[in-house]
Amino acid sequence: MENSKSKDDYEFPETLPVLPLLSTVIYPQGVATVQVGFEENIALLRGNPEADALIALAFCDAQTGGEIRKESLSRVAVVSRILDRLKLPGGSYQVTFQGLRRVEIVEFLQEKPYYTARIGPLVEHVSDPFKVNVLVQKAINLFERLVAYSPNYPKELIHILKMNIDSPGRFADLLCSSLNFEYAEKQKVLQAVGIEPRLQRVIELLRGELDRVKVAQEVEKRAKGDIEESRREYFLRQQMKTIQRELGEEELNQKEADEYQLKFDGLGLSDEVAREAMREVERLRHIQPSSSEYQVIKTYLDRFFALPWGIETQEHIELPKVRDALDIGHFGLERVKERILEFLAVRKLNPSHKGAILCFAGPPGVGKTSLGRSIAEAIGRKFFRISVGGVRDEAEIRGHRRTYVGALPGKILNGLTRAGCMNPLLMLDEIDKIGSDHRGDPAAALLEVLDPEQNNTFTDHYFNVPFDLSKVLFVVTANYLHDIPRALLDRLEVISIEGYTENEKLEICKRHLVPKVVAEHGLKAHAPAFSDATHLEAIRNYTREAGVRNLQRCLEKVCRKIAREQVEAGEAAEAKSIVPADLDVYLGGQKHLHDEAVDRDEIGVANGLAWTATGGEILIIEALRMKGKGKLIVTGKLGEVMKESVQAAASFVRSRAGELGVEGPGFDEIDIHIHFPAGAVPKDGPSAGVTVTLALASLLSGLPIRHDFAMTGEVTLRGKVLAVGGIKDKLLAAYRANIAHVALPRANERDVTEVPEEVRQNMTFHLIDHVDELFELALIGYHRPGAKSSLDDVPTSSLDGPHAEGPPTA
């Protein structure tokens, strides 16, 4: 058993050069050859040219990327003797070291040109000889089992280890150096100075290695079994083929392969595509029909030949015919129709022109999808709609690779298969509702599909051959352009389709909806008659939308009830005239009363204009003051941008307190509450800035706001009014709410020209640059500069009366 001094306990100099090692651990009494290439280590070898020079080998805690620092070196080193050195081409050395003894690096004395350090001895202690003997025996038993499992370890190692059991420290070092452990694990064993911890660490490593070898053997055994099973199956299949040949039975795979072979004629496939398809046919020819792979290949070939290779419909572009088709199917939308006619005129003059991809953007129910269908019918193309809303997997567009079970082609080529030609009009519906997750980004896949410069070689993952999409006329629809990725939006030419005016809805209802709904419900024999007043009643009080989808639902509900009445009446059934009062019976009470806009002049209550994906809306903003400590309370489920807009408006109004007739230190004695009704609906954006400013100015000055006035615009701290978006939709919403006057940022003047003539004739637009202009327009009794008054005497706003005065209420 080892004592405090080993028989190899040599005397060493107190100071030795230190050579760091990055990937090799050398134990005491061990010999190893190392290639030395770092400049510092080469300098050390040159500075110690003696044949048996002594150095201290220190080991890095981790790879340091080519830079060795003394902080990364372990304090436990091994004094070693240089047995041999050989200079290699390139300036590096191959050095053979013999480890002698563990030592401790007490202090580094120099770093350049190489490390030197003062070293001290490390004494290996044995606290419990009996426990050490038990650990040594356990290690030998584990190693014997390891040798029995793995041929990588020679049996002679067992005898060598048993010869060293009287020196357990040397035994542990020898065992660790003989096994294929990681560098970090070997380093931990080296740093274990105590005999017992060192043996315990080696035993843990042995157990891990034994488990790894067992698992590897089981995997190898299982693999051999699978191979044997495959060989057995192969021989059985060969025998079955021989029996079928002797019986004269024609093999099914040969017959089907020949049928596929005949389908190549007349397809006009490119060499690359034909070569890939032929390869699959030959694979089918050599696979047994009972094999699962047979069905996979057969399904692939069925879908491959179902693609419309070389099949095209004749396109006839006659602009008068297209115009008539658009007018028949859609009322109004003049600007949209003009753009479609321009697009088709270019295609007629230059059929090979790679034009832009049209994107119809607008709220639901305005006719985006039906426009695409009308275009296809007018020019003689087949129409197919692909809904991409909610698609989150890129494979839905590009297809699944055939390695997956249940693989399918993507929506694009599947749409062409169902359309039956290579030049249909494909409508990608709801493109703004595409999502993305860990399975990929479908919008990125659409970049290639919608790019005229790339889509002539579109490759579906399922077919794995290029397909020409350049002849397809793509049209996409969207509700909200901001949700379309920028790179995808850049490939689209956006045609905005805003909501309809009241008169346009009336005409659509009379020309399209009523005849369609009456026919669908079988009421042609005794068709109900709807008066204009009835239509207007349904439009004004039973729907509130930019399109006409809900209006159609109302008509369908009325026709269902009339159909039931006629069926119950039998032969006595007769046509019925529907008047506005009948809607209360058929549709119930009014769903939308005229309470969207403020209906009387009030203090602190203003009509704002908002934009949503379904069109424009009236956004009422209420301001109320109460006794408090100067807090500004904002409610209504607002986003960060809108909250900041409210703060900016409040700061501006406080800075104009004198001009508004407010003075004194009373701001610190009241709280101001600003509320945006419809609290369950999220709201965001800066366009309510002018409305909040006006409501606060009215609240603090005591001047009521005109109820027939609405506004939109972003406000700055200096009171400037900045441009906002969605002007046309907002103005249509104001028109539907019977607003007579609208204040707009002057920068949005160009947007007013896009508003229908009907709206422009019945509304007055005020273009403003500063909120002072808005105060003069909308605040009743406001004159600059205003009369001064004390804040405590300012009347509060009340939702019960336009000019109510009294103490602040919460």
CATH of the domain at 178: 1.20.58
Residue 428 lies in a domain: yes
Torsion sign over Cα 801, 802, 808, 809: positive
Residue 810 lies in a domain: no
Of 804 and 78, the structure prediction assigns the larger pLDDT to 78
507 plus 582 within the same structural domain: yes
Residue 575 lies in a domain: yes
26 plus 50 within the same structural domain: yes
Distance of CA 308 to the CA centre of its chain: 33
348 plus 459 within the same structural domain: yes
Residue 543 lies in a domain: yes
pLDDT in tens, 624-677: 988 888 888 999 888 899 889 999 998 998 888 777 776 544 677 888 999 988
788 plus 677 within the same structural domain: yes
447 plus 516 within the same structural domain: no
Catalytic residue list: 687, 730
* Domain CATH code at residue 533: 1.10.8.60
376 plus 490 within the same structural domain: yes
* pLDDT-derived band at 705, boundaries 50, 70, 90: very high
Last residue in a domain, options 164, 186, 213: 213
CB 771 within 8 A of CB 656: no
* pLDDT-derived band at 47, boundaries 50, 70, 90: confident
Structural domain that includes position 182? 129-213
Q: Rounded to 5 degrees, what angle do the CA atoms 785, 789, 791 make? A: 120
pLDDT in tens, 437-468: 777 778 888 888 888 888 888 888 888 888 88
Asked if residue 799 has pLDDT above 70, the reply is no
Last residue in a domain, options 187, 213, 239: 213
What pLDDT does 710 receive? 93
Number of structural domains found in the chain:
6
d(CA 41, CA 217): 42
Long-range contacts of the stretch 504-508 (C-beta < 8 A, 24+): 504/331, 504/332, 504/756, 504/758, 505/535, 505/539, 505/548, 505/551, 506/532, 506/535, 506/536, 506/539, 507/331, 507/332, 508/331, 508/332, 508/548
Asked if residue 791 has pLDDT above 70, the reply is no
* pLDDT-derived band at 704, boundaries 50, 70, 90: very high
d(CA 623, CA 488): 42
d(CA 713, CA 724): 6
430 plus 344 within the same structural domain: yes
Distance of CA 343 to the CA centre of its chain: 33
Segment 724-729 mean pLDDT: 85
**How much is the mean pLDDT over the chain?**
81
Instruction: Respond yes or no on whether the N-terminal peptide bond of residue 17 is cis (omega within 30° of 0).
Output: no
690 plus 713 within the same structural domain: yes
Segment 97-124 mean pLDDT: 87
What pLDDT does 639 receive? 87
- Tokens (6 digits) for 489: 């939006």
Asked if residue 715 has pLDDT above 90, the reply is yes
Last residue in a domain, options 496, 514, 539: 496
d(CA 384, CA 414): 10
Asked if residue 30 has pLDDT above 90, the reply is no
Q: What is the DSSP letter of 589?
A: S
In percent, the amount of the chain with pLDDT more than 70 equals: 91
pLDDT in tens, 625-634: 888 888 889 9
Residue 333 lies in a domain: yes
Residue 4 lies in a domain: no
774 plus 629 within the same structural domain: yes
* pLDDT-derived band at 808, boundaries 50, 70, 90: very low
What pLDDT does 251 receive? 62
d(CA 375, CA 383): 9
44 plus 133 within the same structural domain: no
Least confident of 215-229, 316-330, 543-557, 704-718: 215-229
186 plus 115 within the same structural domain: no
Residue 228 lies in a domain: no
End-to-end CA distance of the chain: 91
Residue 798 lies in a domain: no
* Domain CATH code at residue 649: 3.30.230.10
Q: Which residues contact 177 (CB under 8 A, 6 or more apart)?
A: 25, 27, 30, 186
* pLDDT-derived band at 7, boundaries 50, 70, 90: very low
Matching residue, tokens 């009835």: 534
133 plus 28 within the same structural domain: no
Q: Which residues contact 468 (CB under 8 A, 6 or more apart)?
A: 422, 455, 456, 457, 458
d(CA 379, CA 323): 11
* Domain CATH code at residue 89: 2.30.130.40
Among residues 746, 761, 735, the alpha carbon closest in space to that of 498 is found at 735
Asked if residue 275 has pLDDT above 90, the reply is no
What pLDDT does 595 receive? 45
CB 481 within 8 A of CB 432: yes
Amino acid letter at 557?
A: K
Matching residue, tokens 């919460």: 810
What pLDDT does 669 receive? 81
Burial of 62 (0-12, 13-18, 19+ CB in 10 A): exposed
* Domain CATH code at residue 403: 3.40.50.300
d(CA 445, CA 240): 47
